[in-house]
A and B are shown apart, each in its own frame.
Chain A
């Protein structure tokens, strides 16, 4: 039930503090979501949606940083593979 799906804000419909809604896109599918908990989200930002409401904004810098750190692991991995295969030649 705590499933939350990241989607991109494509259009604000209403910026009311309680009834605020926006169109949010999930892998090509657009849905209307309630935005009271992410009043500062702008078009182009990603939000996590749970039970029809956006519960938080996605910290895109953090996601990129994590992916860069992980990419470094993967590079280390391919370097090791090259080293291993070189060793077997």
Chain B
């Protein structure tokens, strides 16, 4: 029994919410679930199929390893091959192909690469291995930024000189702006990413919802959470309103978590960031503040990130950019399920546990929706 999870998987409630959504939607509305965790839950529980013809769900860019620019992965590979360096990151990040294969394939070829559950584990590793330079490849949305910022704060307090970070954090709201400004945008309502909002709150969406006349509903991850978010969004669209609503109140407060925001703001400042499939997004990421610049991997090793996109022939066949911006359904990619599978992926969305292509492969296989 998992409290605050099992109750929100009740099939009777889910069935009733599906009925209400179908009764409310007089036309097929196009909603985007922003977070890849939501994508996987929607497909795993068959919610997209249940709502077919009433609501079209298009998958958003909320898969951090998918939007990580190839140049960052290549730089991580370069670092991992340096003598005396141990490169650490989350499992998903290690599986994503760069222009020269993934970090796991680099490990098989002798590079020092370590999978960690938490960035603070990488700090502990640096503490117990003073002979190594431990580099943490910091990816993730606002949800993950407090964990990597806390790792930097801990390393700072411990005075560690053998810990540094390759910061490739992304911020979700600027990407939503880019999506809405695209001439071929089809999104009519957003299910905002629940755990991103646990940190940031949702007052920052008020202006966004007004400017684009688009409902933004903060939504959780369990079937009943997702259906509540969809029902709220569809109800707003049917009544011509475009407001910010929170259907994930157990984890999200209007102004987020101020303690977590302080941790992030102490260590990071907002920066422009190259996103895979989107190009450079203004204010689309974080970088280390000057006070913590000694932990910046590029300063520590005197390396720079390539600004040129240097996609391999394999990566060029991957249409991740179109999938991540919701313009291409995974099943409509010619490589889906044939040349590109989770065992031999052409690109990140087929690799990551949050990638839309991996979700489609796992739950829908070849079926078309």
Chain B residues within an 8 Å CB radius of A67: 7
Chain A 37-81: CB-based contact to B (< 8 A → 1; otherwise 0): 111100000101011110110111011011100100110010000
Chain A residues within an 8 Å CB radius of B352: 1
Chain B residues within an 8 Å CB radius of A66: 228, 249-250
A74 touches B13 (CB 8 A): yes
Give A1-46 interface residues, CB cut-off 8 Å to B: 1-6, 8, 18-19, 26-27, 34, 36-40, 46
Chain B residues within an 8 Å CB radius of A53: 118, 120, 146-147, 150
Residue in contact with A37 in the complex, picked from B16, B146, B228, B252, CB distance below 8 Å: B146
Chain B 110-149: CB-based contact to A (< 8 A → 1; otherwise 0): 0000000111110000000000000000011101101100
A2 touches B141 (CB 8 A): yes
Residue in contact with B251 in the complex, picked from A34, A58, A73, A77, CB distance below 8 Å: A58
A50 touches B144 (CB 8 A): yes
Interface residues on A, range: 35 or more
Q: How far is the CA of A77 from the CA of B260 in the complex (A)?
A: 41
Q: How far is the CB of B358 from chain A (nearest CB, A)?
A: 13
Chain B residues within an 8 Å CB radius of A1: 36-37, 63-65, 90, 92, 139-141, 143-144, 352-354
Determine the residue in chain A with the shortest Cβ distance to B146: A37
A59 touches B251 (CB 8 A): yes
Q: How far is the CA of A51 from the CA of B257 in the complex (A)?
A: 16
Q: Residue among A8, A18, A53 with the most chain B CB within 10 A?
A: A53
Chain B residues within an 8 Å CB radius of A77: 12, 16
A51 and B199 in contact, given A26-B2, A58-B4, A74-B13 (Cβ under 8 angstroms): no
A27 touches B250 (CB 8 A): no
Interface membership of B5, Cβ < 8 A: yes
Residue in contact with B198 in the complex, picked from A5, A48, A51, A60, CB distance below 8 Å: A48
Chain B 221-242: CB-based contact to A (< 8 A → 1; otherwise 0): 1001000100000000000000
Q: Residue among A4, A27, A51 with the most chain B CB within 10 A?
A: A51
Residue in contact with B118 in the complex, picked from A4, A18, A34, CB distance below 8 Å: A34
Residue in contact with B13 in the complex, picked from A19, A26, A27, A73, CB distance below 8 Å: A73
Residue in contact with B249 in the complex, picked from A4, A26, A51, A62, CB distance below 8 Å: A62
Chain B 11-35: CB-based contact to A (< 8 A → 1; otherwise 0): 0110011000000000000000001
Chain A residues within an 8 Å CB radius of B120: 34, 52-53
Residue in contact with B150 in the complex, picked from A34, A48, A60, A74, CB distance below 8 Å: A34
Determine the residue in chain B with the shortest Cβ distance to A67: B7
Chain A residues within an 8 Å CB radius of B199: 55-56
Chain A residues within an 8 Å CB radius of B224: 70
Chain A residues within an 8 Å CB radius of B10: 70, 74
Chain A residues within an 8 Å CB radius of B117: 51-52
Give B340-355 interface residues, CB cut-off 8 Å to A: 352-354
B16 touches A4 (CB 8 A): no
**Using a CB–CB distance below 8 Å, which chain B residues touch chain A?**
1-5, 7, 10, 12-13, 16-17, 35-37, 62-65, 90, 92, 117-121, 139-141, 143-144, 146-147, 150, 153-154, 157, 193-196, 198-199, 221, 224, 228, 249-253, 256-257, 259-260, 263, 352-354
* Further pairs besides A2-B194, A48-B195, A62-B250: 14, Cβ < 8 Å: A1-B90, A1-B92, A3-B195, A4-B195, A5-B5, A19-B154, A37-B263, A38-B257, A39-B259, A48-B198, A53-B150, A63-B250, A74-B10, A77-B12
**Using a CB–CB distance below 8 Å, which chain A residues touch chain B?**
1-6, 8, 18-19, 26-27, 34, 36-40, 46, 48, 50-53, 55-56, 58-60, 62-63, 65-67, 70, 73-74, 77
